[in-house]
Every structure is written in C-alpha cells, then in structure tokens.
Amino acid sequence: MLPGGPWALLFAAGLLEIVWAVALKASDGFTRKGPTALTVVAAAASFYLLARAMRDLPAGTAYAVWTGIGALGVAILGMIWFGDAATPLRIGGIVLIVAGIVALKLA
C-alpha cells in the first residue's frame, strides 16, 4: 500500500481519473490510438486503486472524493487546454467541489 494508506490510494485514483478523462477527450471518439490506449490503461488503474481504497474507506465517501478529484481536475484542465469558459459560476462550482472533498476527508 502507498504511504498514507487508503487516502493516498484514493488520491492517486483521482489523479488517474483526470488522466483518463482528458485522454478520452484527446482520443477524438476513440479514433486516435495513443490517447485511446492511455484512456484504457489510466481508467483501469484508477478503478483498481479506487477499489483498493474502498477496502478501508466508506464507499460513499471514497466514490464522492474520487469523482470530485476527477471533476475538479478535468474542469480546470478543460479551461486551460480546451478553452472551456472560466466564468465566475464555474469557478464557484470548483470551489464548492474542493469544499466537499475537504469536508468528506475530515468527516
């Protein structure tokens, strides 16, 4: 197990969720081989680490934190790399996602 236990596994799983989601966008509907392969490998690794973290963490907490990390990362990268709008409402939503993740970690 990674140092930091199940929370470290969950954080790594969340980072890999960002990787596979961004690679999925870059795969152009699975028409580009490199991004498609990265999507599959990162998704499999992300699910594996999520499953390992769920051995010790409540399922609802683990799943919510995992999706929150993914949503946060993809939203930010979408604004940086894909030109997604960075409106005050979107930024506020990102802040709320971070607050939710922190609350679940502290609970």
Each domain of the chain, given as residue ranges in start order, spans 5-106
Q: What is the pLDDT of residues 30-73, one digit of tens each?
A: 999 999 999 999 999 999 999 999 999 999 999 999 999 999 99
pTM of the model as a whole: 0.88
* The predicted structure's pLDDT at residue 107: 79
* The predicted structure's pLDDT at residue 2: 64
* The predicted structure's pLDDT at residue 46: 98
How far apart CA 105 and CA 96 sit, in angstroms, is 14
Q: What is the pLDDT of residues 3-40, one digit of tens each?
A: 779 999 999 999 999 999 999 999 999 999 999 999 99
